[in-house]
Structure 1
C-alpha cells in the first residue's frame, strides 16, 4: 500500500495543500486496523470524510454496502473517480463536511458508520457537529491528533479532561484502537496520531432537562480552569441566590473546580439550575 498511495500521488502530479491539513496514510498496518476497528460489514452504509486518494476508501468499499465520501479539495475528485471507478457502491460529494446536510444524506440508511482520517485543523468542530446533530451514526471510527484523542477519553482530575471529554462521553462510549506515528503519512505531520472509535449510546449518558444549559455550564467551568465552579457560574450572569441554592440542591461544593466534576455531577448541577430559573 505504501507505494500505492505514493504512486497515485505521483501519477496525477497531486500537490498537497497545507491549509487543508492533507496527510495521506501510507502504512498498511494502520489501514487494516482502522477497517478492523470500525467493524464494517456488508449491510453498512459508510460515510468517509477526507478520502484523500482513496486508499482507505478502497478497503471500505470491499466490505460495505456503500461508501459515500465527502471531499473538500476539488482536485481530488477526478483522481478518486478514476481510481475507484470499478466500484459501483461508491459515491463522492465535493463539499465542506461542516456544510453537509446529514439528515438529508442519511435518510433511510441504517446502520450508518463513519470512518475518517479527519483533517486535524478542524477535528473538534467536525466531532461536535456530528454528535450534536444527533444523526443516526452507529459509530465513528476516526484518526485524529493524539492530543485530541487523549482529551476525548480523559476522566475527571486529569489535565486533559475538559469540555470536549464531556461532549463526546455524553453521547458515546470511547475506545482507543491504536496510536499512529508521523512516519505513517505523506507528508509527515508534526504530531502523533491516534485512532479512536466512538460508539453512539442509545440515549445520552446522563438525563438533563436542558442540553444547551448543560453544555453552557460545562464550557463556563473550563474557560477558567484554575477558577472555582462558583466563579464559572457567576460568569454566566446567574443570580447569586440561584447559584447558592443550585450547589446546595446538587450537593456539590462550590469551591471545587470544573475538572473535578463527573458528567453525572455536571448533569445534577445543570438540572438544579434549570429548576430554579
Structure 2
C-alpha cells in the first residue's frame, strides 16, 4: 500500500490548520530526506520530535531510529498521528506543550538522544533556550526554523545578525546550516523562507565563566542597548558600582566605548568575569 502524502492525510481527515499554532506542514520529500540524513539518525538513537504535524517527518524518523517520541500540542492531531503511525512499535506520542515537558522523563537512561523537528516559528527561541539551558543530554538538535533566526544563531561578531541568541546557542553548541527551504515546501505556505540548522552539543560550554547567569545578562543587555556603549550597558545592569566600571574593563583590556556586537563570546566571558570580581557585595 502506497503511503499517503501530507496533502492526502490533511484531506483524509479534513484537518483545519490553526494559524495561532504556527502550523506549516512539509510536503517536499527532498527536505525530509535532508533533515533525516543531516541529523545522522541511527538505530541507537532516541529521537524527540516537537510539533510532528500529521507525521510526515515522524514516519521517516521511525524507519531509522531506535525510538521516536513526538510531542504535539494540537488535540486534533493526536488521533491522526496515532492512526497513521499505528504500525510502528517504536513510536511514542505525548499530547503536551513542549515548553512544559520535562525531557529527562522521556530520556530516562537513553545514551544517544537527538532532537529533530520542524519547529513552529512562534516558539522557536523559547524552545531552543529550554533545550540548551535545561541540562538535558542531547547530542544534537536538527531543526527547521525561520531563515532569519538561523542566521542569527550562526552569526559572528560584527554583523547585524549577531546578538544574544548567537551567544546563547554558541555557548552550548557548534552550529552548521544544512540547507534553505522555500515557502513552496509547505502547506499552507509561510510568508518567509526556512532553514535547516544542526546544533551539536559541546561536551562543555565554549567558554568557562564564574557566573553563567551574569554572563548571559551582560550579553543580553549589551545587545538590548546596541546604540549605547558597553560601559552604559554594564552601568544599566546595576550590579557594579559606577566608580568600579572602568576598572572592570581595564582589567580585561576591553575598551568601554565599544558596542556589544563587536565582542566575541570569549570577550563577553572575560568581561562578565571581571564584572563578577568587582560587583557589589
TM-score, normalised with respect to structure 1: 0.98
Output one character per residue of 1:71-91: Cα deviation in whole Å (capped at 9) or x when no partner: 000100000000000000000
Question: Which secondary structure does the structure 2 equivalent of 1:235 belong to?
Answer: helix
**Structure 1 contact 234–240 (Cα < 8 Å) conserved:** yes
Aligned mates of 1:182, 1:2 — CA distance in 2 = 23
Aligned partner of 1:240 in structure 2 is 242
How many aligned positions are there?
Answer: 277
- Residue 224 (structure 1) shift: 1.3
Runs of 4+ in structure 1 deviating by more than 2 angstroms, as ranges, are none
Partners of 2:48 and 2:105 in 1: CA distance: 13
**Shift of the alpha carbon at 1:242?**
2.4
**For residue 87 of structure 2, what is the aligned residue in structure 1?**
86
Q: What TM-score comes out, normalization by structure 2 length?
A: 0.97
Paired residue secondary structure (2:89):
coil
Q: CA deviation at 1:2?
A: 11
Q: What SS does structure 2 have at the residue aligned with 1:204? A: coil
Mapping for residues 1-16 of structure 1, pairs under 5 Å: 4-16=5-17
User: Aligned runs of 1:78-117 on 2, under 5 Å?
Assistant: 78-117=79-118
Question: Which residues of structure 1 form unaligned runs of 5+?
Answer: none
Number of the residue aligned with 2:198? 197
2: CA distance, partners of 1:152 / 1:241: 35
Query: Which residue does 1:266 correspond to in 2?
Result: 268
Q: CA deviation at 1:103?
A: 2.0
Compute the displacement of 1:44 (Å). Answer: 0.2
1:110-150 Cα offsets, whole Å, 9 max, x none, are 11000000000110011011101121000000000000000
Q: Which residue of 1 aligns with 2:37?
A: 36
How far apart in 1 are the matches of 2:205 and 2:192? 32
Distance, in Å, in 2 between the alignment partners of 1:2 and 1:28 is 12
Q: State the SS of the aligned residue for 1:167.
A: helix
Q: Which structure 2 residue ranges, 5 or more long, are not aligned?
A: none
SS at match of 1:137: coil
SS in 2 for 1:144: strand
